[in-house]
Structures are given as C-alpha cells and as structure tokens.
Amino acid sequence: MIPLPGFAGTGSTRIFLACGATDMRKGFDGLAVMTQQVLEQSPHSGALFAFRGKRGDLVKLLWYDGQGLCLFSKRMDRGKFVWPTTKTGKVILSAAQLSMLLEGIDWRRPERTAAPCLAG
C-alpha cells in the first residue's frame, strides 16, 4: 500500500466509508461528487474516502495529497470486502480498521486470542 502522510501510526488522517454499493464505473470526478453529496465532506480535505462496488470484490479509495486527487483501487480474487450498512450513509474508521478491511478481515468484530495460561 502507498503510505499516506499521517495515515500509518499517527491516526491524524480521517477515513470515511460510503455505506452501500457504489457504481465502480465512477472515477475521480464522480467519486468526488459522492464525497460531497453522500458523505457531506470536501474531497480536498485530506481525508481518505472508501467506496465499494455492488459485487463486494472491488474497493476504491479517494484521497487528496495536497496537489491533486489520488485514486487507488483493490480487487479481491476470492471473497468480499466486509462493508457496513447504516442509516447515515457513512462510517468513520481508524487506520487499523481500514487495514483489516483491505485485507478482507471482518474489522467490525476483531477476535482476540486468549492469553496463554501458564501452569505453575
């Protein structure tokens, strides 16, 4: 993944998911309009905006790097990206949750492994 300033570790980059399905034929301009209308955010704010296709195997990320919009995409060979459905149309994620989402892990309920018991 391309490192984004403030993304890895600091948590200063805000990450928004557009809930529901997005027409994946949209490019820079179409996703920027969705960012304004659906997510009610400026696409030039420096936040990262994530969109998922109807089949669930394609994600597009829109991000403004200070000079222009960047568009990243990832397609799963097998499986689907776990995506929420809400009434508000958007969800705010942490960098760790986005990382799990992009790896195909259910980021909504990460399972913790039990600490090993040491026999004494």
Residue-level pLDDT, tens digit, the chain, 120 residues: 455 555 544 457 899 999 888 999 999 999 999 999 888 899 999 999 999 999 999 999 999 988 999 999 999 998 898 887 776 778 888 888 898 889 888 877 655 555 566 665
The predicted model scores a pTM of: 0.79
The type of residue at 21 is A
Q: What whole-number distance in Å separates Cα of residue 117 and Cα of residue 31? A: 50
